[in-house]
Amino acid sequence: MSDHLKKIDMQDHAPASLFGDLSMQIAEDDVVHRRGSPPWIITFADMITLLLAFFVLMLSFSDMNATRFKDVSGSLQESLGKQQALPIVEAPAAETQLAGVPEVVAVPLPEQLAKDLGTLQKSLSADLVGQKLNVRVDNGNLIVDLPKHSGNGVLSQEMLDLYAKIAEIQSQVESTVEVREGSDSAAKINDAVQRLDQLKAALSKEIANGDAQVERDGERVVVRMLVQGSFYSGSAVLSPDYFPLLTKIGNTIAKGGGRITIEGHTDSIPVSGNDRYRSNWDLSGARAASVADFLIERGGVPRERMVVRGMADIKPLAPNDTREGRAKNRRIEVLIDAYGP
């Protein structure tokens, strides 16, 4: 009987023991849950904070385009039903400019006019070489500029023959040929011819050695110098061996007037391994600036007459697929105009 009572008593207390164990396990899990977040949460939060700081920093550096913002805003308002005239979007001004004056863009001539110009230049080639006249295009007409003759009213036989030749050419071309005497262009050509002779005389030794070339291009005189031996490799620092040539050029061109443009040219091989010059644009512009500084400081050329351009490899004189061609393309050109400051 007693054993039976003990068994019933154990059965009555079994559920209580089971629930007691369960409550203790829940309490232990609750303690574990309340211990805090896992350690990786701290690193994650730091990363998110750093990213937020980075984006705030980037936003502080940014510059909002007001015109584009208004354009987008107007488009959204129009699509939502509100009519609003969109503002005119203007191209932003350039932040940097190597050249001191804008580059003049050449407009292609009409086919017939270009053909007639070639015919006129070919027929008057001897007189053009002799620098007696200039041929150009103005308002769709072919213009022949002649120097002003003496005021006695009598034309020389040479001028009469020239007029007869121009009249004969007029019958061969469709465009109108106009002759102008004593024009500004003719006067500028005469100035260019005189300056050409002065530079050729001053640089006769360098021209004979092949270190420089001097030629006339209409109203402009071009002095072309090879870069080889003029600058240290991959640098815009002038070699001392280059100083005498630049001194002669500076002393000659400082005497006259007109705008002077210094152009730097390179070959087509990209700049590599140079931390200072990222491309041929930078290198050519820096070399042209070095020559301009020398002509100003040691040649006596006024600074206001000087213009600097970095041309990179956009105007090659020879193909860049040979060593000789690349050597010709690496050059400095001094362009002396008959106009400007």
pLDDT tens track for 182-217: 655 556 666 777 888 888 999 999 899 888 999 888
Identify the domain boundary among 153, 182, 211. Answer: 182
The first and second tokens of residue 42, run together, are 């701290």
* Averaged pLDDT score across all residues of the chain: 75
Distances 206 to 110, 113, 210, 252, 274 between C-alpha atoms, Å: 41, 40, 6, 14, 31
Residues near 75 by beta carbon (within 8 Å), at least 6 away in sequence: 86
Identify the domain boundary among 182, 217, 243. Answer: 182
Q: Regarding predicted confidence, which is higher, 226 or 7?
A: 226
Q: Please answer whether residues 190 and 146 qualify as being in contact, where contact means their C-beta atoms are separated by less than 8 angstroms.
A: no
**pLDDT score at 186:** 58
Residue tagged 């002396």 (tokens):
336
Mean pLDDT is lowest, of 46-60, 149-163, 228-242, for 149-163
Give the C-alpha separation, 290 to 236, whole Å: 7
Quick one: 280 and 306 in the same domain? yes
Within-domain flag for 230: yes
- Tell me the β-bridge partners of 134: 145
Quick one: 163 and 178 in the same domain? yes
Q: Please answer whether residues 268 and 284 qualify as being in contact, where contact means their C-beta atoms are separated by less than 8 angstroms.
A: no
Extract the runs of DSSP E, i.e. beta strands, from 218-315.
220-226, 260-265, 306-312
Question: What is the distance of C-alpha 295 from the center of its chain?
Answer: 23
Quick one: 228 and 150 in the same domain? no
**Is it the case that residue 119 has pLDDT exceeding 60?**
yes
Within-domain flag for 268: yes
Q: Regarding predicted confidence, which is higher, 238 or 6?
A: 238
Quick one: 143 and 251 in the same domain? no
Per-residue DSSP letter, 131: T
Q: How many distinct structural domains can be found in the chain?
A: 2
Which of 319, 246, 232 has its CA nearest to residue 277? 232
DSSP track, 91-121: PPPPS--SSSSPPPPPPPPPHHHHHHHHHHH
CATH assignment of the domain containing 190: 3.30.1330.60
Across the range 220-228, mean pLDDT stands at 87
Q: What percent of the chain has pLDDT over 70?
A: 67
Quick one: 156 and 291 in the same domain? no
Could you report the per-residue pLDDT of 33-49, keeping only the tens digit for each? 556 678 888 888 889 99
Quick one: 195 and 310 in the same domain? yes
Could you report the per-residue pLDDT of 90-117, keeping only the tens digit for each? 444 434 334 443 444 445 678 888 888 8
Strands 260-265 and 212-217, by their bridges, are unpaired
Across the range 291-303, mean pLDDT stands at 92
Quick one: 197 and 332 in the same domain? yes
Quick one: 202 and 241 in the same domain? yes
Mean pLDDT is lowest, of 4-13, 215-224, 232-241, 268-277, for 4-13
Within-domain flag for 89: no
Q: Regarding predicted confidence, which is higher, 1 or 213?
A: 213
Quick one: 207 and 259 in the same domain? yes
Query: 247 pLDDT band (50/70/90 cuts)?
Result: very high
Query: 292 pLDDT band (50/70/90 cuts)?
Result: very high
CATH assignment of the domain containing 158: 3.30.70
Quick one: 123 and 259 in the same domain? no
Within-domain flag for 7: no
Give the C-alpha separation, 114 to 109, whole Å: 6
Identify the domain boundary among 182, 200, 217. Answer: 182
**pLDDT score at 97:** 39
**Is it the case that residue 32 has pLDDT exceeding 80?**
no
**Is it the case that residue 20 has pLDDT exceeding 70?**
no
Residue-number span of the structural domain to which 285 is assigned: 186-337
Across the range 65-82, mean pLDDT stands at 57
Which of 273, 271, 261 has its CA nearest to residue 312? 271
Q: Please answer whether residues 195 and 188 qualify as being in contact, where contact means their C-beta atoms are separated by less than 8 angstroms.
A: no
Dihedrals phi, psi of 226, to nearest 5 degrees: -75, 145
Quick one: 278 and 309 in the same domain? yes
The first and second tokens of residue 257, run together, are 């007037």
